[in-house]
Amino acid sequence: MIDIDETSVFLGLDVGKSHHHGHGLTPVGKKVFDKALPNGEPQLRAVFDKLRAKFGTVLVVVDQPASIGALPLTVARDAGCQVAYLPGLAMRRIADLYPGEAKTDARDAAVIADAARTMPHTLRSLDLADEITAELTMLVGFDQDLAGEANRTSNRIRGLLTQFHPSLERVLGPRLDHPAITWLLERYGSPAALRKAGRRKLIEAIRPRAPRMATRLVDDIFTALDEQTVVVPGTNTLDLIVPSLAKSLAAVHEQRRALEAQIEALLEAHPLSQVLTSMPGIGVRTAAVLLTTVGDGSSFPTAAHLASYAGLAPATKSSGTSIHGEHAPRGGNRQLKHAMFLSAFAALHDPASRTYYDKCRARGKTHTQALLRLARQRINVLFAMLRDGTFYEPRTPRLA
């Protein structure tokens, strides 16, 4: 936890790739440091040690705790300083309160330091992450990069099939996540190649990889092929492009499966793993995102604070007598918000969650609005589970 009362210097760091800018203030607002710092351990340690020797307790605050902000935070901890994080959204809003429109490293560092001094409630504590959480952070980030790559490649394949043979895309496009489909497209990337292979050969080839869907899938493929009798100019290029894209997509899917196994192995060693995964809709990847964005939840005083951080606290837009209803705010941690939204959708098989969702729909909410309200209610449950270290207990939440 951050001990503001004992802090002698609030050192705001605007972090950068090669240099950071530091701005130090005493509790009464006196400037005691304002310099650029090379992004290297000796230089950072020298500054931290000098400030501690001269003033006492130093609180180092950054606006980017990961990536380029990782080294200064690690050195600060090792040098005996306290560390904290000023979320980017809070930083932007606070910066608007200060005079001037210049966007410089020195100004940003000064804003961070003064915000830490005068508005400590805006800070997030950064306790020393254990090895599991640090590794999970790296693996989750890599997994999300791979997911983005898979999505782009899938969209490219679907776009090509839609351009040249829409009926075939409607059969294969929604199934591109299945290994049997990518294997099929690696070898038969065009309508002509699929037709030339024939039903029997395709069924025999697919059955070892998808025994339940092989016959039905091939029947659907040939039904789609029969629906289009004309050949769109350029269709022959699919034999070159689609197999290459399918091979890349299959490789990304294989990487994600291997990565999921590594994430699952790390989760099993984390004390909160079973607590998180006991909640319907929270699997390996979602639990990993929660641990890397929320941790044990101790940084949030209430469930409402956690909901606000996740961007799931409804906001009413009104002007005079015009009230436009509740809308989910655009801010918040996008990674956490996305994970909670997807977990709410995945939890619709849970009777309690489904009952709450159906009640929201009955009150006129759209599908998305009902899922957002369910995600917000699940934040309350998640907060209590993390706070008490208890497993999920099914209870139907009440509508507000």
Q: Number of structural domains, the chain? A: 3
**Region at 392 (left for phi over 0; alpha for psi -120 to 50; beta for the rest):** beta
In a domain? residue 393: no
Residue 145 shares a structural domain with residue 177: yes
Give phi and psi for 40, each to the nearest 5.
Answer: -145, 150
Looking at the fold, whether 37 and 117 belong to one and the same domain comes out as: yes
Q: Are residues 240 and 348 in the same domain?
A: no
Q: Can you give the pLDDT at residue 135?
A: 85
Distance CA 69, CA 57 (A): 20
pLDDT at 364 (0 to 100) = 92
* Separation CA 237–CA 288 (nearest Å): 41
In a domain, 165, yes or no: yes
Which of 301, 355, 363 has the alpha carbon at shortest distance from 326? 363
Q: Are residues 78 and 144 in the same domain?
A: no
Same domain, 120 and 143: no
pTM: 0.70
- The neighbouring-strand residues paired with 14 are 21
What is the identity of the amino acid at 86?
A: L
**Integer Cα distance of 191 and 164 in angstroms:** 9
Is residue 397 included in any domain, yes or no? Answer: no
Task: Give yes or no for a contact between 82 and 3, defined as CB atoms under 8 angstroms apart.
Answer: yes
Tell which of 110, 128, 146 closes a domain: 128
Do residue 253 and residue 286 come from a single domain?
A: no
Question: Residue 156's domain is classified under what CATH number?
Answer: 1.10.287
Residue at 340 is within a domain = yes
Could you tell me if residue 322 is inside a domain? no
Tell me: do 107 and 167 sit in the same domain.
no
Dihedral class, residue 214 (left if φ above 0, else alpha if ψ from -120 to 50, else beta): alpha
Look at residue 394 and tell me if it is in a domain.
Answer: no
| DSSP 8-state code for residue 397 | P
- Please provide the DSSP assignment of 121-169 as one string: GG-EE-----HHHHHHHHHHHHHHHHHHHHHHHHHHHHHHHHHH-HHHH
CA distance linking residue 239 with residue 31, whole number of Å: 67
SS3 at position 82:
strand
**Alpha-carbon gap, residue 126 to 82, rounded angstroms:** 9
Q: For residue 38, which of 27, 24, 55, 22 has the smallest C-alpha distance?
A: 22
Q: For the chain, how many residues are written? A: 400
The answer on 113 and 156 residing in a single domain is no
CB 395 within 8 A of CB 352: yes
Residue 45, in any domain of the structure: yes
3-state secondary structure of 316: strand
Residues 15 and 49 in one domain: yes
Same domain, 84 and 166: no
Residue 355 token pair: 């009952």
Domain harbouring 29, CATH code: 3.30.420.10
Among 76, 100, 128, the domain-final residue is: 128
pLDDT of residue 397: 63
Q: Which domain holds residue 170?
A: 134-265
Type of residue at 284: V
- Specify if 209 maps to a domain: yes
Alpha carbons 264 and 230: distance in angstroms, whole number: 49
Contact 189, 182 (CB under 8 A): no
How confident is the model over 179-223, as pLDDT tens digits?
999 999 999 999 999 999 999 999 999 999 999 999 999 999 999
pLDDT at residue 224, rounded to an integer: 97
Same domain as 288, residue 247: no
145 and 115 in a single domain? The answer is no
Residue numbers in the chain where pLDDT is lower than 70? 1-2, 66, 101, 126-131, 314-330, 396-400
C-alpha distances in angstroms, 136 versus 6, 140, 287? 33, 6, 10
- Taking the C-alpha atoms of residue 300 and residue 306, their distance in angstroms, rounded to an integer, is 6
Q: Name the domain boundary from 71, 95, 128.
A: 128
Per residue in 129-165, pLDDT tens?
Answer: 556 777 888 899 999 999 999 999 999 999 999 999 9
What's the CA gap between 197 and 352, in Å, rounded? 49
CB-neighbour burial class of residue 67 (10 A; exposed 0-12, middle 13-18, buried 19+): exposed
Alpha carbons 80 and 73: distance in angstroms, whole number: 11
* 86 CB-near residues (< 8 Å, 6+ apart): 12, 61, 62, 63, 94, 112, 115, 116, 122, 123, 124
The Cα 330–Cα 124 span in angstroms is 20
